[in-house]
Structure 1
Amino acid sequence: MYLSRFRVNTARPGARRLLSSPQAMHAAVMSSFPHLLPTDVPVPDAPRVLWRLDQRARAEVVLYVVSSDRPDLTHLVEQAGWPAAATADPQNPGWQTRPYAPFLDRLATGDRWSFRLTANPVHTIRRKEGEPRKVTAHLTPVHQMGWLLDPQRQERCGFRILEKPDDRRLLPHGTTHRGRPHPGDRYELSIGDTRSLSFDKARGTDGSRRGKPVTLVTVTFDGRLEVTDPDALRRTLTQGIGRARAYGCGLLTLAPLAPSTRQTA
């Protein structure tokens, strides 16, 4: 397994095209693996290619990719990077790739980490009796957090999201939906970005659309977690969480906790 990091040059027209279309970015990411054909279908329980865009500032966008094979991102450097700088320095091709397995192997029960996840939180509803259930996006922060905080989902994923200590809760007696404490006040969990996306699927050779446009809501979560099942968490880190994984959702990444927070919760 490999974890790759690519900084996007947002001043380039090619970068703007990729950033405006998850479909185009997905195609560019998959083109980084010469042995993967466009028609390849992911095998259940097998590692898959996951990717995520992190926008830290208006002009600072970073693409993360987790894959079983080492990627070749040369085409991305040419379209959306700094090709002249990469040519001048052969030791720096324009992206960084590191083996992921050593980190995955070190995960242990009780470890605590900061995390980031961009996901597509959805649920199924039935508008009228007798109608089939329909997949619908969660639209409010309370329900979006509730999707990730679902105990069964956390158990399947191999972690639990940490709770805040009492002295860091702003609403010790505050309640919200159906009398439950607000999850953003109780848990080490926040929403950094929410986007509503709509884009066309890949077009046929004649220029016609293939099916209906794709619409989805993406949510970026930041928080802190504790490892409860290392094997399950390894699967989560390499296979992703939830739906829309082809469109930049599902990639969970971990980072060390800040020293001042390691003993809290």
Structure 2
Amino acid sequence: MFLSRFRVNTARPGARRLLSSPQAMHAAVMSSFPHILPSDAPQPDAPRVLWRLDQRARAEVLLYVVSPDRPDLTHLVEQAGWPAVASPENPGWQTRPYAPLLDRLAAGDRWAFRLTANPVHTVRRKEGEPRKLTAHLTPVHQMGWLLDEERQKRLGFRVCEKPADRRLLPEGTTHRKRPHPGDRYELAIRDSRSLSFDKSRASGDRRDKPVTVVTVTFEGRLEVTDPDVLRRTLTRGIGRARAYGCGLLTLAPLTQQTS
């Protein structure tokens, strides 16, 4: 497994096109692996290509890619990077093996983390109607999605709780009737977006309804509960919309900023 980082040159037209369409970015990322054909579907229980965009400032956008094979991002450098300054020693992106981090995971260890996900649930609006997949839209429910005990068990970690002296209220809530998890847990929402884009078709003039994906970027601290399960989470992703930049969880030592 490999972890790659690519800085996007937001001043270039190609970069703006990629940043405006998760589908276009997904296609560009997958083109980094010559042996993967567009028609190839990821195997359910195998490591897959995951990606995420982190916008740290208005003109600083970083693309992270986790992949079973080392990628070749030359085409991204040409479209959305700084090709004039690229060289064999500095091709315009950084790739490093992921195994050293995966191998050092141990139960009880604590890490800073960042995750962009698509928190959804199913609802039935009327009796007798089939349940419909719906995005969580409020911070309380979005946090609740990640804090679900069964979900965390399946992912191999638990989000850490804040020490009592760092909570605003003794019970760790900000509302008596509706607890707010942001005061109890080491968890924050850094970004929430609703992305709407057209899904291109290989042939024909038929136009489907635009695809809408609600993405939420979480930051916080976690404790490893099952190292083997967490390794699978890090290499297979979390939740839905992984083709559209969701599901990639990254870890960093607590003494450093989340990567």
TM exceeding 0.5: yes
Aligned-residue offset at 1:90: 2.0
Structure 2 residue aligned with 1:4: 4
Is the counterpart of residue 221 in structure 1 residue 218 in structure 2? yes
Report if aligned partners of 2:195, 2:214 keep a CA contact under 8 Å in 1.
yes
For 1:184 and 1:137, locate their aligned partners in 2 and report how far apart those are by CA, in whole Å: 19
Structure 2 residue aligned with 1:130: 128
Structure 2 residue aligned with 1:38: 38
1:85-114, Cα deviation, whole Å (9 max, x unpaired): 00xx32000000111112101111011000
For 1:36 and 1:238, locate their aligned partners in 2 and report how far apart those are by CA, in whole Å: 17
Report if aligned partners of 2:4, 2:96 keep a CA contact under 8 Å in 1.
yes
Q: Give the superposed CA RMSD.
A: 1.4
Structure 1 residue aligned with 2:109: 111
Aligned residue-pair number? 256
Specify the code of the residue in structure 2 equivalent to 1:80.
Answer: A
For 1:202 and 1:208, locate their aligned partners in 2 and report how far apart those are by CA, in whole Å: 10
Structure 1 regions of 5+ residues with no counterpart? 260-265
Structure 2 residue aligned with 1:187: 185
TM-score normalised to structure 2 length: 0.95
SS of structure 2 residue aligned to 1:202: coil
1:13-43, Cα deviation, whole Å (9 max, x unpaired): 0000000000100000000000000011111
For 1:189 and 1:214, locate their aligned partners in 2 and report how far apart those are by CA, in whole Å: 28
Specify the code of the residue in structure 2 equivalent to 1:242.
Answer: G
Report if aligned partners of 2:116, 2:246 keep a CA contact under 8 Å in 1.
yes
Aligned-residue offset at 1:69: 0.8
For 2:111 and 2:166, locate their aligned partners in 1 and report how far apart those are by CA, in whole Å: 18
Structure 2 residue aligned with 1:241: 238
SS of structure 2 residue aligned to 1:191: strand
For 1:90 and 1:70, locate their aligned partners in 2 and report how far apart those are by CA, in whole Å: 15
Specify the code of the residue in structure 1 equivalent to 2:155.
Answer: C
For 2:91 and 2:174, locate their aligned partners in 1 and report how far apart those are by CA, in whole Å: 50
Structure 2 residue aligned with 1:199: 197
Report if aligned partners of 2:174, 2:183 keep a CA contact under 8 Å in 1.
no
TM-score normalised to structure 1 length: 0.93
Q: Provide runs of 4+ in structure 1 moved above 6 Å.
A: none
SS of structure 1 residue aligned to 2:28: helix
Q: Map 1:69-88 to 2 at 5 A.
A: 69-86=69-86
Structure 2 residue aligned with 1:263: none
**Percent of aligned pairs with the same amino acid:** 84
Aligned-residue offset at 1:173: 4.9
For 1:29 and 1:173, locate their aligned partners in 2 and report how far apart those are by CA, in whole Å: 45
For 1:131 and 1:91, locate their aligned partners in 2 and report how far apart those are by CA, in whole Å: 59
Structure 2 residue aligned with 1:94: 92
Pick closer, same or farther for the CA change 1:147–1:203 going to 2, 3 Å.
Answer: same
Report if aligned partners of 2:172, 2:181 keep a CA contact under 8 Å in 1.
no
For 1:175 and 1:97, locate their aligned partners in 2 and report how far apart those are by CA, in whole Å: 42
Specify the code of the residue in structure 2 equivalent to 1:253.
Answer: T
For 2:172 and 2:105, locate their aligned partners in 1 and report how far apart those are by CA, in whole Å: 36
For 1:172 and 1:76, locate their aligned partners in 2 and report how far apart those are by CA, in whole Å: 50
Specify the code of the residue in structure 2 equivalent to 1:6.
Answer: F
Aligned-residue offset at 1:174: 6.7
SS of structure 1 residue aligned to 2:107: coil
Structure 1 residue aligned with 2:66: 66
Compare 174-183 and 196-205 and name the one that shifted more. 174-183
Pick closer, same or farther for the CA change 1:173–1:227 going to 2, 3 Å.
Answer: closer
Specify the code of the residue in structure 1 equivalent to 2:15.
Answer: A
For 2:71 and 2:200, locate their aligned partners in 1 and report how far apart those are by CA, in whole Å: 22
Specify the code of the residue in structure 1 equivalent to 2:52.
Answer: R
Structure 2 regions of 5+ residues with no counterpart? none
For 2:142 and 2:117, locate their aligned partners in 1 and report how far apart those are by CA, in whole Å: 10
Aligned-residue offset at 1:206: 4.3
